[in-house]
Amino acid sequence: MRTAYTSDQIRAAELALMARLPEGTLMGRAAAGLAAACAPVLAERRGRVYGSRVVLLVGSGDNGGDALYAGARLARRGARVDAILAGSRAHQEGLAALRAAGGRAVEFAPGPARELIGAADLVLDGLVGIGSTGALREPYGTLAGFTADAPGVVIAVDVPSGVDASSGRVDGPVVRAQATVTFGAYKNGLLVDPGASFCGAVELVDIGLGPYLPDPDVAALTGDDVADLLPKPAPESDKYRRGVIGIAAGSDTFAGAAVLAAGGAVRAGAGMVRFASFEEPVRLVRARWPEAVTTVLTPGAERPLDDVGRVQAWVVGPGLGTGREAHAIVREILATDLPVLVDADGLTHVAADRSLLRRSGPTLLTPHAGELARLLDVPRERIEARRIEHARRAAAELGATVLLKGSTTLVAEEDRPVRVNSTGTPWLATGGTGDVLSGIAGALLAGGLNCYDAASCAAYLHGLAARIAAAGPDRAAGGSGPGDSGPGGEAPIAALDVAEALPEAVRAL
């Protein structure tokens, strides 16, 4: 499991470690790791470090010192290193080390700075560190803008300048790095969008903080973690022991959502899928997923779900509609003490009547930012800017586990680290994929996982299946493993493709 921390947590750990070490040891470790990460990049571009051109963007803080010391190491290997001093001061020992190694330092001036950056093979962003919040001040903002057009590789020192290390928030100009070399531990902003989208590949340099770190603020499951958590059938298993999931989804208007949610549950390994809805969604589910046991609900019935049969968990909401009949279904399901996943139209009913969530059973809510905005009555833009904060707030206020969908999927539960999903592809941004996710998570709930683990594993599997589907069968085994990112070499997918790729995703784990 990858764990991440706020800037305050990291700083406290650094202070505790520095108290036991000679002065400068920690910065020396960081600079050595940074230089070691830069050298292969230069070798790939130039064939060797010698003769390459490196530009350091140096601010007033310790990140500037890290960049200067790393630049000195590269200069001693023959690189031409220029440091642009952008802050009100510079780390004097680091500056002396750079000059002693043959590097050059210049005060910021827009024209020369743009020229140096434009000629560099590598730009090291050491403008601000993990303690910086809010928009970059000048001239940092201008330099961040110059890096956007840089032909060389941009590597961020610890965190890209302009990204809030604790939250991932971005309030103005920001350095978009191809790679980020971070020290001691991951920071929240490296894993959570919008900040994560500016980090590129993240490399962690161990500087000895481990024993001094507190419980993590954020965590990301690995493939091994998910494999350990997934329910596995035993020799004595039967369909009931493997988990019976009830799904109430679909309507005449949105019948496809029913097919997709049922498909997610079937392909994720549910022992049995009991599907309940109106006539048209039931007809389509029967045709596409004959494994599902279906029930046509009687419009206007006082207890519409009486004939469905026993289930171990419920999924309610995808495509269900927002009328009276749909409300009655949502109300009846939430009145049980079973685990319930609420998605899509179900969330609309809950937003209109939050008393539906006063229940004894566990509840998993799976909103996107717009749905969470309605649940919390805050602007969508505020949620997208501070995703961790609002996912946590929703979990506390609503008394539920919250899976916040988006380019970074978060799982929040009160008094636990927010989990960040590390799989996925931009091709997932297509209609119906959220319905598939609901079916996956519902199957895992029925299989015995709690809401926190079911949501986390479902998000991981969903993203991995999407990569496999987008990459195609020839690349599935080698090119779509956990930790890969980006749409390169992938093709568009539809929601049903994700459901169909789920067995391969489970097999890959």
Q: What angle do CA 145, 147, 150 make, to 5 degrees?
A: 130
Could you tell me which of 352, 381, 367, 375 has the C-alpha nearest to residue 412? 367
Quote the CA–CA distance of 368 and 351 in Å, as a whole number: 13
345 is in an annotated binding site: no
- Residue 369: what residue type? A
133 is in an annotated binding site: yes
130 is in an annotated binding site: yes
188 is in an annotated binding site: no
Quote the CA–CA distance of 51 and 119 in Å, as a whole number: 13
Of the CA atoms within 13 Å of residue 151, those in its CB half-sphere come to 9
Quote the CA–CA distance of 509 and 482 in Å, as a whole number: 9
497 is in an annotated binding site: no
322 is in an annotated binding site: no
440 is in an annotated binding site: no
438 is in an annotated binding site: no
62 is in an annotated binding site: yes
Q: If you ran DSSP here, which 8-state letter would residue 266 be given?
A: H
DSSP-based three-state secondary structure for 36 = helix
224 is in an annotated binding site: no
- Residues β-bridged to residue 182: 204
117 is in an annotated binding site: no
271 is in an annotated binding site: no
Pair 163, 189: CB distance under 8 Å: yes
7 is in an annotated binding site: no
Distances (CA, A) of 185 to 10, 12, 56, 150, 424: 8, 12, 23, 28, 23
Could you tell me which of 274, 253, 229 has the C-alpha nearest to residue 326? 253
435 is in an annotated binding site: yes
Q: What residue has token string 């010192």?
A: 65
- Residue 70: what residue type? A
Pair 15, 23: CB distance under 8 Å: no
408 is in an annotated binding site: yes
Quote the CA–CA distance of 394 and 401 in Å, as a whole number: 8
135 is in an annotated binding site: yes
Of the CA atoms within 13 Å of residue 205, those in its CB half-sphere come to 24
129 is in an annotated binding site: yes
Of the CA atoms within 13 Å of residue 323, those in its CB half-sphere come to 10
Could you tell me which of 63, 302, 286 has the C-alpha nearest to residue 187? 63
Quote the CA–CA distance of 421 and 404 in Å, as a whole number: 10
DSSP-based three-state secondary structure for 276 = strand
Q: What angle do CA 453, 457, 459 make, to 5 degrees?
A: 120
Query: Per this entry, what is the length of the chain?
Result: 509
240 is in an annotated binding site: no
- What is the DSSP annotation of 184-227? SSEEHHHHSTTGGGGT-EEEEE--S-GGG--S-SEEE--HHHHH
Annotated binding site for (6S)-NADPHX: 62-66, 129-135, 140, 158, 257, 319, 368, 435
Annotated binding site for AMP: 405-409, 434
Annotated binding site for K(+): 63, 125, 161
Annotated binding site: 62-66, 125, 129-135, 140, 158, 161, 257, 319, 368, 405-409, 434-435
